[in-house]
Chains A and B, each alone.
Chain A
Amino acid sequence: MKANPTDVLTGIYYIDGDVAAGYGALAAGCKLVAGYPITPSTEAFEAMCRKGPQVGTVFIQMEDEFGSISAVLGAVWSGVKSMTITSGPGYSLMMESIGFGAMLETPFVLLNIQRGGPSTGVPTKTGQADMMQSRWGSHGDYELIAISPDSPQEMFDYTIKAFNLAEKYRCPVMIMSDECVGHMTEKVVIPEADKIEIEPRRFYKGPPEEYLPFSPDPDLVPKIAKAGDGLGLYITGRVHDERGYPVKNEEFKAKYVRRLVDKIRLNKDKIIELKEESTDDADVVVVSYGISSRVAVKGVEIARQKGIKVGALRLVTVWPFPDEKIIDLAKKVKAFVVPEINYGQIVFDVARCCHGQANVVLIPHGGAGVHNPLDISDAIESAAKEDKKIEGVVEFKTRLEKIVFERGLKLKE
């Protein structure tokens, strides 16, 4: 299905990533945005409030993040596409309802402009330390999809993709961006509506008395319905049968939760998007996502000038994790280098898939800034020179860490 022309603000813009994501949501047909202001995500919410009336999108600023995500879930069940926007502490507050959304198989999008944590952290600066939280943050077993754009143009494009994936797999989709991409201002091209592909909602169209809201199609995803259609929906966060009625025996638990997990795991090939470059004959592969993948481009370039064979693997889809790809590469390469703005999150999944066949180097960063490309090239260089197999994850000592921990940090600096 093509996008609705009235939803698409076609044109060439010079805007930041937050605003681009907001325009992307409008183009995807998001008809209700509920949010609560939090730096550095607010611009996206503001942009949607400003342009919403133009395209018929309702906005509501709720009293807290619990309220905004709950309103989004309610809106989806009343039949519209919906999104919420948050960051840092707000993301933590939403965790319960993310699990609720996954349990109800509710298609919705959550834009998380990551900031420096933990707690209030550094609200105005960047971080990538919510990656594991996005995967495991809510209690219980569930699977969802997380995407990590690295430019304002991608914020627009991948917000649309996020909506499409949400509708296709009836699951929450996280856009795990960060402050750097959110506040980066670049050229963004919003194409004509007929160039934008939109996944329509999988509404049930059969006879009302035969509708089973949780009876899956062959791809394990059930057809959805909406309130007000006379179907007598029963939607609960309890483990339920195909009618939606709560059940508490272990057979149903096994059957239902297994499907929640499987509908993403078994459709992985169709969901995952990677950007791979020169990995065929590489000695070292840099695995990165979001803003770190943009910084890594420079690091890779410097390493190549030194004659090192480096490949780059960019995780556009971070969750579900591309296990097979890493397993495959691990057989061929010497080492993986993983720059991320945290003290090790995605790197452990890379190591898990390596099975000790290749070394894994983490280039950590505490947040409030991005990596120095020289650290990335140095890490690549030393990983290429390393001949012995090292178990576990090796942490690369960055210039910043040397300054802080070896020279000491004066308070006035």
Chain B
Amino acid sequence: MKAKETKTQEIQSVPSKKGEIHPMENLLRMDRMPHIWCPSCGIGLAVTAFASALEKANIDPNKISIVSGIGCTGRVAGYVKLDSFHTTHGRPIAFGTGIRVANPKIKVVVFSGDGDLIAIGGNHFIHAARRNIDMLVVCVNNFIYAMTGGQVAPTTPLAAYATTSPYGCVEPPFNIPYIADSSGAVYVARWTTLHIRRLINSLAEALQKKGFSVVEVISPCGMYYSRINKLGDGLDMMKFYHDNVEIRHGEDTKNLDIGFQTKIICGKFVDRERPSYMERYNQWLSDVKGGSRDEG
């Protein structure tokens, strides 16, 4: 009984006008608001897009688990009203693999940042793509380690500044769609947080896809990436996306490198069919045993 009281109390403490309900209240944990993201950050837009995509894709939210790692985007799981898992740094894909393989009725969405998924978690990323685990990976790419205060990331464009590349980044960055494509992902797209409608459509499409799908979301970090590189505020970065994004569906993923303040190519690059891990596993099981597990 005591437990129930605590819950109600928390919900009441959310500042809202009487009778007003947030349109996404059924998908967001309103009792956790306000969120931690800075003004001008794009992660909130990515979350809103994801919530809209969930409604659009018409999937039972009770059957979706959202898994995040560590970092600014790592906090996403905690704001979405699904089964949320905020795991260790770099491991959400491996954690999600365990969920999916042990219980194929659950759809896994990994929502994390570029550092978490491509640096420390890079190995899990390529192997989950190779296995073609049924999973949607939303990778918010803000070109920097923001949670720790703006260090260089494996996605930081050449020559861009960060606190640990104070004279400009000397390492060439990863091209995320290219890694995903060459490792075997069945769906690869890239959008910025300016392209909300396209992003929603893309996420909804990827949610229904069987296999390993990757949607990269280029997102402004007004506090760290933008400030140290003198790129203006969030609005300036959105303006930059507006002027410099080129949409090229089906573009060869080799051509998707992002330089410092260069053109960003967005679109849906890969959409193909490959047997997923569970399909292969069940096929194998029925070959050796004459029966298969339930496929969700």
Docked-complex contact A237 and B87, CB < 8 angstroms: yes
* B210 interfacial by beta-carbon distance below 8 Å: no
B-chain residues with CB within 8 Å of residue A228 when the two chains form the complex: 62-63, 65, 83, 103, 105-106
Docked-complex contact B106 and A78, CB < 8 angstroms: yes
Task: Point out the residue from B29, B78, B103 that lies within 8 Å of A227, measured CB to CB.
Answer: B103
Identify the interface centre among B4, B10, B103, B105: most chain A CB within 10 Å of its CB: B103
* A271 interfacial by beta-carbon distance below 8 Å: no
Docked-complex contact A34 and B83, CB < 8 angstroms: no
A-B contacts, 6 listed (Cβ < 8 Å)? A63-B127, A78-B106, A227-B65, A227-B83, A228-B106, A235-B86
Q: Mark B100-117, 1 if CB is under 8 A from A, else 0.
A: 111101100000000000
Distance to closest chain B CB from A396 (angstroms): 42
Docked-complex contact B83 and A246, CB < 8 angstroms: no
* B95 interfacial by beta-carbon distance below 8 Å: yes
* A73 interfacial by beta-carbon distance below 8 Å: yes
A-chain residues with CB within 8 Å of residue B102 when the two chains form the complex: 31-32, 58, 74-75, 78-80, 82
Question: Interface residue tally of chain B, by bracket?
Answer: 35 or more
Docked-complex contact B83 and A231, CB < 8 angstroms: yes
Considering the complex, give the chain A residue whose CB is closest to the CB of B84.
Answer: A234
* A413 interfacial by beta-carbon distance below 8 Å: no
Docked-complex contact B98 and A74, CB < 8 angstroms: yes
Task: Point out the residue from A67, A68, A78, A246 that lies within 8 Å of B99, measured CB to CB.
Answer: A78
Considering the complex, give the chain B residue whose CB is closest to the CB of A79.
Answer: B103
* B220 interfacial by beta-carbon distance below 8 Å: no
Q: Mark B129-152, 1 if CB is under 8 A from A, else 0.
A: 000000000000000000000000
Query: In the bound complex, what is the Cα–Cα distance between A215 and B29 (angstroms)?
Result: 19
Hey, which bits of chain A sit against chain B, CB under 8 A? 31-32, 34, 53-54, 56, 58, 60, 62-64, 66-68, 70-80, 82, 96-97, 100, 209-210, 212, 215, 226-238, 242-243, 245-246
Among B166-174, B221-229, B257-265, B281-289, the stretch that binds chain A is B281-289
Q: Mark B69-88, 1 if CB is under 8 A from A, else 0.
A: 00000000110011111111
User: B24-75: which residues lie under 8 A (CB-CB) from chain A?
Assistant: 29, 31-32, 62-63, 65, 67
Identify the interface centre among B4, B100, B101, B127: most chain A CB within 10 Å of its CB: B101
Distance to closest chain A CB from B242 (angstroms): 36
Docked-complex contact B4 and A210, CB < 8 angstroms: yes
* B97 interfacial by beta-carbon distance below 8 Å: yes
Docked-complex contact B94 and A62, CB < 8 angstroms: yes
Q: A228-B62, A232-B83, A237-B86 are in contact. Are A245 and B103 (CB under 8 A)?
A: no
B-chain residues with CB within 8 Å of residue A97 when the two chains form the complex: 88, 91
Considering the complex, give the chain B residue whose CB is closest to the CB of A67.
Answer: B94
A-chain residues with CB within 8 Å of residue B289 when the two chains form the complex: 53-54
Considering the complex, give the chain A residue whose CB is closest to the CB of B278.
Answer: A58
Query: In the bound complex, what is the Cα–Cα distance between A58 and B32 (angstroms)?
Result: 37
* B13 interfacial by beta-carbon distance below 8 Å: no
Query: In the bound complex, what is the Cα–Cα distance between A216 and B210 (angstroms)?
Result: 39
* B7 interfacial by beta-carbon distance below 8 Å: yes
Distance to closest chain B CB from A381 (angstroms): 50
Query: In the bound complex, what is the Cα–Cα distance between A74 and B68 (angstroms)?
Result: 12
Docked-complex contact A67 and B83, CB < 8 angstroms: no
Docked-complex contact B29 and A234, CB < 8 angstroms: yes
B-chain residues with CB within 8 Å of residue A96 when the two chains form the complex: 88
A-chain residues with CB within 8 Å of residue B87 when the two chains form the complex: 70, 73, 100, 237
Distance to closest chain A CB from B18 (angstroms): 22
